[in-house]
């Protein structure tokens, strides 16, 4: 099933205005038998640059974390009555210089049903979202993982 990326993006931007501030756009979100995946982009703007004229490390982190949030909302957005999704921790590695516009592709690391079963059992599940950030030539510049949880209500 394809998720309405426009509606999901609007919801995230409404809930997380910082993503709007840096110009992040969610361009694709899918939820199907192959898993949950989201793609987000960051424009090449001087105001986002670091000392070597590429996107600042903080902007790259924001891009990856936002893409991971799109995955979480695609996978669990219809279950928000059960709990609140929260980022728990993140790991990021900068492999190559990023220049120009960059794209983050995020993928859910556990099955949706497995996470929901833990939540239903009264646990506070944790699940990783893996992210690759690439520049226009396809080179992977940054790899990160954001571990999320769903904090049960009550």
Range of the domain at 11: 5-152
pLDDT digits (tens, 9 = 90+) for 65-84: 999 999 999 999 989 999 99
- What's the predicted TM-score (pTM) here? 0.94
Residue 31 DSSP SS3: strand
Tell me the CATH number at 104: 3.10.129.10
* Average confidence (pLDDT) over 136-142: 97
Domains contained in the chain, number: 1
Is there a contact between 68 and 129 (Cβ–Cβ < 8 Å)?
Answer: yes
% the chain with pLDDT above 90: 81
| Mean model confidence pLDDT for the chain | 93
pLDDT digits (tens, 9 = 90+) for 113-130: 999 999 999 899 999 999
* Average confidence (pLDDT) over 97-124: 95
pLDDT tier at 1 (50, 70, 90 boundaries)?
A: low
Lowest mean pLDDT among 24-33, 79-88, 119-128, 143-152: 24-33
Q: Report d(CA 56, CA 152) in Å as an integer.
A: 35
pLDDT of the residue at 134: 98
Which residues, in sequence order, are bridge partners of residue 105? 39, 132
Please write down the HEC assignment for all residues of 84-144.
EEEEEEEEEEECCCCCCCEEEEEEECCCHHHHHHHHHCCCCCEEEEEEEEEECCCCEEEEE
pLDDT tier at 11 (50, 70, 90 boundaries)?
A: confident
| pLDDT at residue 154 is higher than 90 | no
């Amino acid at each position: 099933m394809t998720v309405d990326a426009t509606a999901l993006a609007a919801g995230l931007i409404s809930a997380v205005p910082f993503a709007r501030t840096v110009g992040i756009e969610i361009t694709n979100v899918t939820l199907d038998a192959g898993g949950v995946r989201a793609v987000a982009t960051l424009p090449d703007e001087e105001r986002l640059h670091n000392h070597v004229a590429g996107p600042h490390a903080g902007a790259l982190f924001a891009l990856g974390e936002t893409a991971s949030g799109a995955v979480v909302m695609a996978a669990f957005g219809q279950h928000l009555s059960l709990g609140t999704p929260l980022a728990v921790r993140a790991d990021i590695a900068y492999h190559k210089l990023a220049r120009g516009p960059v794209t983050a592709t995020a993928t859910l690391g556990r099955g949706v049903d497995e996470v929901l079963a833990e939540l239903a059992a009264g646990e506070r599940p944790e699940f990783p979202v893996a992210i690759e950030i690439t520049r226009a030539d396809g080179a992977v510049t940054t790899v990160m993982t954001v571990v999320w949880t769903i904090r049960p209500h009550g």
